[in-house]
Amino acid sequence: MSAEPVARRDQILATAAELFAARGFHGVSVADLGAACGISGPALYKHFASKDAVLAEMLVSISEELLSVGRERAAAAPEPAAALSALVDWHVDFALRHRPLIVVQDRDWQSLPGAARERVRVLQREYVDLWAAQLRALDPGLPADRARAMAHAAFGLINSTPHSGLLPDAPMHGLLSQMALGALGLPSAG
């Protein structure tokens, strides 16, 4: 695939995320999406098989990115507390940079085609387990289900940014990181 089609696909995905976040998946037509991208609605079909395929690629790719970078950050950390701090930093950074995707993931999950929904579910389970493993390495007596619940609670706090991000990004990053680390029982870095 040449750079132009990749750039166009990325543009379509970014534009779709903005539109879906503002109006909901079902509130955006193919014609709306095409017009916002500066192409005709039918021209979208050169890049994606359907509007459902746009949503699927959008949500599968963010789940893949969260897991891939999360694994890298955890593996590079010298010990579990540092790994958790790196995971929190990564997730906060992601949430602040991709507010529309957080909204779409939360609101339009049920609109995902079945295969994509299952793929996202698997990736998200692995991401939760990555966090839970670090929590259990830090506290070997921590039951797995409790560690997973703690990870989910931290995600909920961090993913609230599209709705509660009333501060500029830098102070919001610090606040969310401090709060998420505290929720996980770790001291904040600053």
Predicted confidence band of residue 165 (pLDDT cuts 50, 70, 90): low
- pLDDT above 70: residue 190: no
Q: At what angle do helices 114-138 and 80-97 cross, to 10 degrees?
A: 140
* Residue 109 confidence (pLDDT) above 70: yes
With pLDDT > 90 as the criterion, what percentage of the chain qualifies?
A: 85
The pLDDT, as a whole number, for residue 167 is: 87
127: closest CA among 100, 99, 158, 97? 158
Q: Which of 32, 35, 10 is nearest to 23 (CA)?
A: 32
Domains of the chain: 52-184 (1.10.357.10)
Give the pLDDT of residue 5. 66
Q: What is the mean pLDDT of residues 94-112?
A: 93
Average of pLDDT values for 60-87? 97
Say if CB 36 and CB 15 are below 8 A apart. yes
pLDDT of residue 3: 62
Residue 1 has pLDDT above 90, yes or no: no
**Angle in degrees, CA 142, 137, 117, rounded to 5:** 80
Tell me what pLDDT residue 105 has. 93
Q: What's residue 189's pLDDT?
A: 62
Average pLDDT over residues 98-113: 93
Mean pLDDT of the chain: 93
